Structure 1
Amino acid sequence: MKNAGTNFRHLYYFWVVAKEGSITRAAERLGLAVQTVSSQIALLEQSLGKSLFTQQGRRLVLSDAGELARTYADQIFLLGEQMQDALDQSSTLRTRLSVGISDSLPKLTAYRLLEATTQLATPVRLVCYEDQYEALLADLALHKLDVVLTDRALPTGSTLRVFSHLLFESEMTVVGTAALAQIHSPDFPKNLNGAPFLLPTRNNALRLKIDEWFELQGVHPDVVGEFEDNALLNTFGRRGLGLFFAPAALASDLAEQLQAVLVGRVPQVREQFYAISNERKIQHPAVEAILASMHQDG
C-alpha cells in the first residue's frame, strides 16, 4: 500500500539532521527537544518504509535510502529558499547571484571576474561560497549555485549536465618583493636556480605547468612553501619569503596590494579562468555581464 504522501515537516527535520550529522545538533538548531526530532524522523521512516540512518558507533550515518532522500530534500528545500529569495528580491529590487568560487582561484581574479556585476543597472546581491572544485560542481548540478568560477574546465567525459565557458586566459609572471627582484631579475630565468619559491600544491591545475617550465628551463628552485590557499601564498610572498607566480593580467593589482615587483615574464605558462553553468547559454543577467566584460577586455 502506498503512503498517503510525504509529511514535509518530517522531511525537513530529516534534512536538518542529515546536514548537521546529529539529532542533538539538529534539535538545537530547530529549537526542539531531541525526543521530538527523533520521533518525527521515526514517523517519516515508517511512512516511507525505509531506514534513513544507520548507527556507526556514536555517529549517525545516512543509509543508501537516506542518501537518496537527502538528494531530493536538497532540491525541495533549496526551491523553498529560492522562492523566499525571489520574494525578497521583489521588494528590494536586487537580483541574487549565488557564486561558487574554487579554492584554487586567486582572490584578486575572483574580484575581477565579479566586478562587472557591481555596475549593472539592476543591483546584484552576491552570495559567494568557496570550496573545492568537485564539491562546487556537485552543488551547481543540484542548482544550489548559479555559476562556478574556477581555473579549470569541466573534465572530459563528465556526466554532470554543466558547461564550461572560457572567460579569459593570461600569461604568467614571476614576481616578488623589490629585494628579491633585484637579486633574481638579471639574466632571467637562469638566475632562478636556487631561488626561494612559493608554489601552489600539486593538486592545483597550474602547478604541473610550472613544474614543466622549470624542467624545460633547466631551473632548480628552492621550494620554501606550497599552498592550497592562494591568498595565504600571496601573504607569504608579500613578506618576502619567496618568489611566486601570478597572472600578468593582475600586474597592477599585485603591485598595489602586494607591492609585488616583476622579476620576469613566462609566456609559455598560461592560466585559464572559467565560468561553469547549468546551461550552454547563460541566462542569468549577472553572469552574462561577467562574460561580456571578460570578452570586451579580451
Structure 2
Amino acid sequence: MKATGINFRHLYFFRVVAAEGSVTRAAERLGLAIQTVSTQLAALEQSLGKSLLTQQGRRLVPTDAGRVALTYAEQIFELGDRMQEALNEADVGRTRLTVGISDSLPKLIANRLLQAAFGIDAPVKLICVEREFETLLADLALHKLDVVLTDRTVRATASLRVFSHLLGESEMMLFGTAPLARKYGRNFPRSLTGAPMLLPTRNNALRGRIDEWLLKHEVRPDIVGEFEDNAMLNTFGRDGRGLFFAPAGLEQDLRGQFNAVPVGGAPELREQFYALSSERRIRHPAVEAILTANSGLFAA
C-alpha cells in the first residue's frame, strides 16, 4: 500500500512505544488509554504498509522496517525540538550556533576560533558538542550542526555534501614540564631518543606527520601514551608523563594552564584547522565570523 502521508502524532506514539518496549508502559507515559495508543500505532503501520514492531520475549522491539522508521523519527523530532528552541531564541533576538568539535582538535584552538562568533551584532547562544569525526560528519549532513571545527579536511561527494574551509595553520612545537624540558632540550631533536612522549592515536591527521618528522630526524622516543582526545593528552603532559606536540601559537596558554614550556621547535611540522559546513556558501552570521577571523590566531 502506498503511503498517503505520515501522521506525526502516530509516529510520535510509535517512538514512545519503541522506547518503552510496551504499549502499556507507553500509554502510562503518555497518559492515554492503552487502546488509544494501540489503535494509532496500527493506523501508522497501515498507512506505511509495514509492520514496525514485533514481540520478542516480553518486549516489543522494532522490525527491520521499524528500525529504519525509528531512525527517521528520531531525526524528525530532534529537528522539531531544535526548531522550537530556535524560534524561542529568535523571540529574544538571540542567534543559536550549534558547533561540533572534533575530539582531536586542541581545545585552546577551538576556544580561540569560537571567540569570533561573539563579535556579530546579535547575541549568540553557543551549543558545543564533542564527538568522533565520522559522527560529526553525519550530524552535519543531517543539519544537526551549523559547523564542525576540526584538524582535517573532507571531500564533498554526491552522497556527502560537506565542504571544507581552511581557517589557518600553525607550526608545531614540543612541550613538556620544566624538568623534562631541561633534560631533553639539549641537543634537540637528537636528545629525543628514549624520551617519554605522548602522541595522538594513529587515526589522528597529525600523527602520520609526527611519525615522519621523527623518522626524518632519526630519533626513537619512548611512546608512553596515545590519546584520541587532545585535552586528555595535554592533561597527562601537565602531570609530567611525557613530552607532547602542540601548536606554537599556544605557547603562552600552555605555560599558564599546563605549566608546560617549549622543548624545541618543529617548523616543518604543521597542523591545519578547518571549518566544515553542509553548504559551500555560508549563511549563518556567526559561522561567517569564524571563517573570516584574523589568521593571526595561528601565529607563533
TM-score w.r.t. the length of structure 1 is 0.88
191 and 54 in structure 1: CA distance in 2 versus 1, 3 angstrom threshold: farther
103 and 60 in structure 1: CA distance in 2 versus 1, 3 angstrom threshold: farther
- Aligned partner of residue 293 in structure 2, secondary structure: helix
Match of 1:83 in 2: 83
Q: Which amino acid aligns with 2:30?
A: L
267 and 57 in structure 1: CA distance in 2 versus 1, 3 angstrom threshold: farther
Question: Greater CA deviation, 7-16 or 272-281?
Answer: 7-16
C-alpha distance in structure 2 between counterparts of 1:41 and 1:221, whole Å: 62
Gaps of 5+ in 2: none
Output aligned runs, 1:197-276, within 5 Å. Answer: 197-276=197-276
Q: Which amino acid aligns with 2:260?
A: A
C-alpha distance in structure 1 between counterparts of 2:155 and 2:4, whole Å: 43
1:27–1:34 Cα contact (<8 Å) kept = no
Shift of 1:69: 2.6
Shift of 1:63: 4.4
C-alpha distance in structure 2 between counterparts of 1:256 and 1:273, whole Å: 23
Shift of 1:244: 0.4
Match of 2:13 in 1: 13
Match of 1:23 in 2: 21
160 and 59 in structure 1: CA distance in 2 versus 1, 3 angstrom threshold: farther
C-alpha distance in structure 1 between counterparts of 2:115 and 2:27, whole Å: 35
2:94–2:124 Cα contact (<8 Å) kept = yes
C-alpha distance in structure 1 between counterparts of 2:10 and 2:72, whole Å: 14
C-alpha distance in structure 1 between counterparts of 2:232 and 2:169, whole Å: 23
128 and 140 in structure 1: CA distance in 2 versus 1, 3 angstrom threshold: same
Shift of 1:86: 2.8
C-alpha distance in structure 1 between counterparts of 2:78 and 2:116, whole Å: 27
Shift of 1:211: 1.0
122 and 14 in structure 1: CA distance in 2 versus 1, 3 angstrom threshold: same
Match of 1:183 in 2: 183
Shift of 1:92: 1.9
Shift of 1:282: 1.1
281 and 155 in structure 1: CA distance in 2 versus 1, 3 angstrom threshold: closer
Match of 1:149 in 2: 149
Shift of 1:113: 1.2
Shift of 1:227: 1.1
- Aligned partner of residue 216 in structure 2, secondary structure: helix
2:196–2:221 Cα contact (<8 Å) kept = yes
1:167–1:294 Cα contact (<8 Å) kept = no
Shift of 1:27: 5.5
**CA offsets 1:26-78 (integer angstroms, 9 cap, x no match):** 96899337994973544422331113356778887654433443454345334
2:249–2:297 Cα contact (<8 Å) kept = no
2:156–2:163 Cα contact (<8 Å) kept = no
Q: Which amino acid aligns with 2:21?
A: I
1:164–1:275 Cα contact (<8 Å) kept = yes
C-alpha distance in structure 1 between counterparts of 2:294 and 2:58, whole Å: 51
Question: Greater CA deviation, 71-80 or 232-241?
Answer: 71-80
C-alpha distance in structure 1 between counterparts of 2:83 and 2:135, whole Å: 24
Gaps of 5+ in 1: none
220 and 38 in structure 1: CA distance in 2 versus 1, 3 angstrom threshold: farther
1:102–1:149 Cα contact (<8 Å) kept = yes
Q: Which amino acid aligns with 2:288?
A: E
TM-score w.r.t. the length of structure 2 is 0.87
Task: Find out whether 1:32 has 2:30 as its counterpart.
Answer: yes
- Aligned partner of residue 287 in structure 2, secondary structure: helix
Shift of 1:155: 4.3
41 and 214 in structure 1: CA distance in 2 versus 1, 3 angstrom threshold: farther
In percent, how many aligned pairs have the same letter? 61
1:193–1:220 Cα contact (<8 Å) kept = yes
C-alpha distance in structure 2 between counterparts of 1:172 and 1:16, whole Å: 50
1:99–1:146 Cα contact (<8 Å) kept = yes
Aligned residue pairs total 296
